[in-house]
Amino acid sequence: MTRLMLGRTLERICKAVLLLCLVHFVIMMILYFDVYSQRFDQIFSRFNNGRNASRSGHHYYYNLSRPNATYASYLATADQLLPTVRPEGNHTPPTIKPIPPCPEIPPGLVGRLLIEFASQMTMERVQKENPNVTEGGKYTPPDCRAKQKVAIIIPFRHRDNHLKYWLHYLHPILRRQKIDYGIYIITQLGEETFNRAKLLNVGYTEALKDAEYDCFIFSDVDLIPMDDRNLYHCYDQPRHFAIAMDKFGFRLPYAGYFGGVSGLSKKQFLKINGFPNEYWGWGGEDDDIYNRITLNGMKVVRPDVRIGRYRMIKHERDKHNEPNPQRFNKIQNTKNTMKRDGISTLTYRVLQFKKYPLYTNISVEIGKPPPRPFRG
């Protein structure tokens, strides 16, 4: 009897222990699945976020091959690396900062320059010196907005060596001055008498076909400014830049002198009907232009004599550019001729329009001078 009761008691104890173990097992399984279900929810949530991010054009890469990297550490940092998804309607585009206007006095100017013509000059060298100049001899300041677009026009024939020096010095000067510019070489073809003023009219007309210029600088190819503070842009009145050349002892030769380098806005140029077309040979046309300016109620302005200094490349007088014997008579009649002789009556023929790396060349035929009146 006693043994039977002892056996039943042990049986009950064993069943109770088994029941406790079963209960413990069930509780552990519940806890196990609860914890890991949360972990899987996190994994799939991040996976979906990653897919959404990739659809929006963003790609994020995590280096799981680095030492001590684990998947858990990836999950721990994923929230920091993934972007915050915002509704497309609330997306704000990046603000584009407007380009400021160029300063009146550019800070990069150096002042007085050393100009010399002894060293050999090549176009290859000049091109390497000016990598930011684009085809056709054009340049726009990258960091500011110039107030004017300037066409620089040079009448030309048989001066290739002078042109190399001019480009060598002027391109860097113009870039430091923050000028938005293009350079146009107007080449008179043939060997007829040279006509500087008519070529300048051609340059004005052809430059406007190429771009929307509002300022025009007219320069001889043998004149180099000796100070980069002599700013090549247009002013409220017609501007005479080359007021103190070395060949004149760095003095203005006479009060009405307007030769060498000058500048007019488009409005000023049209007001005087451009330049005269009938000055064949050397001399007189710049005095006629000065008369046109004053007769139309404008005045010539000039820089300080210490800034408007120029060096001229020495050369012999060009063939077929002899002094014009009629120039003095023509100058006295500007008031009568300027309405019927100028940009409004210009005729010419373009034979070549070609853009080189440092300038644009326009080769033209402009006719020939009328026969001189017979003197009995």
pLDDT one-digit tens code per residue, 121-140: 999 999 999 999 999 999 99
Q: Which of 236, 137, 204 is nearest to 348 (CA)?
A: 204
Mean pLDDT taken over the chain: 84
Q: Which of 147, 230, 189, 228 is nearest to 351 (CA)?
A: 189
Mean pLDDT check: name the lowest of 3-17, 183-197, 327-341: 3-17
pLDDT of residue 6: 66
- Cα angle vertex 209, ends 137, 102, to 5°? 50
Instruction: Check whether 39 has a pLDDT greater than 60.
Output: no
Instruction: Check whether 222 has a pLDDT greater than 50.
Output: yes
Mean local confidence (pLDDT), 21-49: 54
pLDDT higher at 369 or 15: 369
% of the chain beyond a pLDDT of 90: 65
pLDDT one-digit tens code per residue, 280-290: 997 889 999 99
pLDDT one-digit tens code per residue, 345-372: 999 999 999 999 999 999 999 999 988 6
CA–CA separation, 282 vs 279, rounded Å? 8
CA–CA separation, 206 vs 287, rounded Å? 24
Q: Which residues are catalytic?
A: 220, 222, 282, 285-286, 312, 315, 317
Q: What is the pTM of this model?
A: 0.74
216 in Cβ contact with 263 (< 8 Å)? yes
pLDDT of residue 232: 98
H/E segment holding residue 263 = strand 261-265
pLDDT one-digit tens code per residue, 232-246: 999 999 999 999 999
pLDDT-derived band at 55 (thresholds 50, 70, 90) equals: very low
CA atoms within 13 A on the CB side of 106: 24
Instruction: Check whether 75 has a pLDDT greater than 50.
Output: no
